[in-house]
Amino acid sequence: MLTIDALTKRFGQKIAVDKASVVVDRPAMIGIIGRSGAGKSTLLRIMNRMDNATSGTITYDGTDVTGAKGAAQRAWQSRCAMIFQQFNLVPRMDVVSNVLHGTLNRRSTLSTMFNLYPQDDIHTAIDILDRLGIAEQAAKRADALSGGQQQRVAIARALMQDPEIILADEPIASLDPMNAQVVMDALRRIHEEDGRMVIANLHTLDTARRYCDRVIGMRDGRIVFDGRPDQLTTGVARDIYGAGADFSESATSTQINTLAKPARPALVPA
């Protein structure tokens, strides 16, 4: 279904992704873990065609999407939706309009300019918000919502595209534990109930083990682990995060989280 073959991305002399190869033969929920700068976000951006690979290929159902441009690129981005750590909503716009932005790739320029949406799309957007437990927020401005609610709006916008693949780049990094669980529960349900492939960059081992069918570990741009969560042993985790990591039973998620990403405050209190 999805094949990534020797994908490489260079920024000058720096190699951000180094000959990464992954084959996904059926819809699954996949977690990508690794320290900050391991190449996780770059890999997802290339998969979504927000960035171009230096070399290597990405094929989906036999179609090479690596070099897709114009209408072909937009069509691929509709099938392969992206969710961001910082939500990427329009803060002053109401929630349902933000969700309807998921239809932009299939709308005309005129309807986009005048913000015109078919009634069926509006009903679909509200149904998706209801599914995610935030339909009552539909008329509110996006910036009036908590961080967890905003991320669910971002998920709703992705679902509005009716994608086959959802890529989530650190979707819970800016959230408190309670909202992080709500968001991860939602992504897991979307995978199980809709049969969609979900690939998420995650910053804790516990989250990857709890929610994912498969875990990919990256270090210095290379894939150093690809297997089931139960195969993610202490030794493997040290290969991913470095020899100095503490993965004993007494190690806290905060200690592991510090290795995975630099400390940063949540943008919106949840």
Average pLDDT over residues 234-254: 66
Question: Does the pLDDT value for residue 269 go beyond 50?
Answer: no
Residues 6+ apart with CB under 8 A from 83: 151, 154, 155, 158, 166, 167, 168, 169, 171
Confidence of residue 262 (pLDDT cuts 50, 70, 90): very low
Residue 255: pLDDT band with limits 50, 70, 90: very low
CA distance 66 to 242: 31
Specify the pairing of strand 214-219 against strand 222-227.
Answer: antiparallel
Residue 204 — pLDDT band, cuts 50, 70, 90? confident
Distance CA 220, CA 15 (A): 8
pLDDT of residue 117: 83
CB atoms within 10 A of CB 99: 29
Has residue 192 got a pLDDT over 50?
yes
pLDDT at 131 over 50: yes
Say how many C-beta atoms besides its own lie within 10 A of residue 245's C-beta: 20
- Other CB atoms within 10 A of residue 210 CB: 15
**Mean pLDDT for all residues in the chain:** 88
pTM: 0.87
- For residue 52, pLDDT over 70 is answered with yes
Q: What is the mean pLDDT of residues 226-254?
A: 74
pLDDT at 186 over 60: yes
Give the number of other CB atoms < 10 A from CB of residue 46.
24
- pLDDT above 80: residue 267: no
* Band of pLDDT at residue 266, cut at 50, 70 and 90: very low
